[in-house]
Amino acid sequence: MKLVFLGTSGSMPTERRGSCSAVLKVGRDLIMLDCGEGTQRQMVRAHVGFRRNMVVLVSHLHGDHVLGLPGLLQTMSLLGRDKRLDIYGPEGLISYVKAFSEALGGPTFPVILHEVHEPGVVYEDEDLRVTAAASSHTLEGWSYSVLEKPRPGRFHPEKARALGVPEGPLWHTLQHGEDVEVEGRVVEAGMVADPPRRGRKVVYSGDTRPTAELVELARGADVLVHEATFAEELAERAREDGHSTTVEAAGVARDAGVRLLVLTHLSSRYPEPGGLLDEARKVFARVVIAEDLMELEVPLDEVAEAA
């Protein structure tokens, strides 16, 4: 699992930072987090494929978070994509995508639009569960948690062989926690495999004020990607505009007990963000500032699930 930051600026792009977007690579699949203007070019630079299985999560409908969607869909169409693309976002997403699609033509592949109307699980597959919580911005929006489901525990081939379990499908069954029968006797999964391991969790705030709902959404996350539009000296401006300061973002990370905080969506007034990092670290030590095209590995956790 790897996070790739495609754009890290707030409101408008700068010389060094593009409009807001990131992708979470999960194996060969992608979860896109917002899609600001120029996202498709950043994908090319980051070597992110346009034909991969992908789900797009839109936090809200301000332009710096969605103006990349027309270009993304046109690029995918030009490259002959035929896989379905699901896009999730707030009310108004459907009319927005339909409007530019009617004007520009396309897309030439299936695009399924899902408007999120209440908090809870919005997407789930065999490996992941995506949960939304309402953000607190100047218009309706959502923060998202991407949770990897528990992974099978470490399998011990030598134990399986000693118990007479032939290599093949039975090993797979045992590793996934199911008992098997071998020559009339039951071999329990716990005899040859460790307990399931905790799945990784990445949370994306979108544009928002700090809220109790966001703290709960981010509880125990491996990575919290949180907007930090302003330094603390502009706390009043942050409240007026529905944004967070560095210190407020760090407070969310601290209260949620996350492992790492990544600050993004920085105002163009901060070309050198070292001061923002110093502010945040006074509240929460494990913090970095995202840069365009920065890649961040989300490490595997070898700790087993509690019984």
The hierarchical CATH code for the domain 2-151+197-297 is: 3.60.15.10
The pLDDT score that the predictor gives to residue 196 is: 86
**pLDDT for the residue 302:** 56
C-alpha closest to that of 221 among 297, 147, 284: 147
What is the predicted pLDDT for the residue at 304? 44
Distance CA 278, CA 224 (A): 18
What does the pLDDT average to over 215-241? Answer: 98
Q: Which residues contact 278 (CB under 8 A, 6 or more apart)?
A: none
pLDDT of residue 153: 85
pLDDT at 197 over 90: no
Of 117, 113, 55, 118, the closest CA to residue 83 belongs to 55
- State how far the Cα of 135 lies from the Cα of 226, in Å rounded to an integer: 12
The SS3 assignment for 123 reads strand
Query: CB–CB of 281/253 below 8 Å?
Result: no
Q: How large is the average pLDDT for residues 247-251?
A: 98
For residue range 167-178, what is the model confidence (pLDDT) as tens digits?
A: 999 999 998 889
Q: pLDDT exceeding 70 applies to what percent of the chain?
A: 98
Using CA atoms, how far residue 269 sits from 13, 208, 276, in Å, is 11, 19, 11
Establish how many alpha carbons lie within 13 A of residue 67's alpha carbon, considering only the half-sphere containing its beta carbon: 13
Closest Cα to residue 60, out of 35, 77, 40?
35
Average the pLDDT over 174-191 and give the result: 91
pLDDT score of 175: 86
- pLDDT tens digits for range 219-229: 999 999 999 99
Please state, rounded to an integer, the average pLDDT across all residues of the chain. 95
Helices (H) and strands (E) in the chain, counts: 10, 16
**Residue 195 DSSP class:** P
4, 30 contact by CB (below 8 A): no
258-298 confidence digits (pLDDT tens): 999 999 999 999 999 999 999 999 999 999 999 999 999 99
Q: How far apart are CA 221 and CA 143, in angstroms?
A: 13
Asked about 64 being catalytic, the answer comes back as yes
The model's pLDDT over 116-141, given as tens digits with 9 standing for 90+, comes to 999 999 999 999 999 999 999 999 99
Residue with tokens 């218009």: 139
Whether the predicted pLDDT of 235 surpasses 70: yes
Express each pLDDT in 58-69 by its tens digit: 999 999 999 999
What's residue 176's pLDDT?
84
Rg over CA atoms, the chain: 21
Domain ranges of the chain: 2-151+197-297, 157-191
* Structure confidence at residue 201 (pLDDT): 98
- Give yes or no for residue 307 having a pLDDT over 80: no
Catalytic residue among 29, 34, 64, 179: 64
Mean pLDDT within 101-114: 95
Query: Is the pLDDT score of 306 beyond 60?
Result: no
Give the pLDDT mean for 81-106.
96
Is residue 114 within 8 A of residue 88, CB to CB? The reply is yes
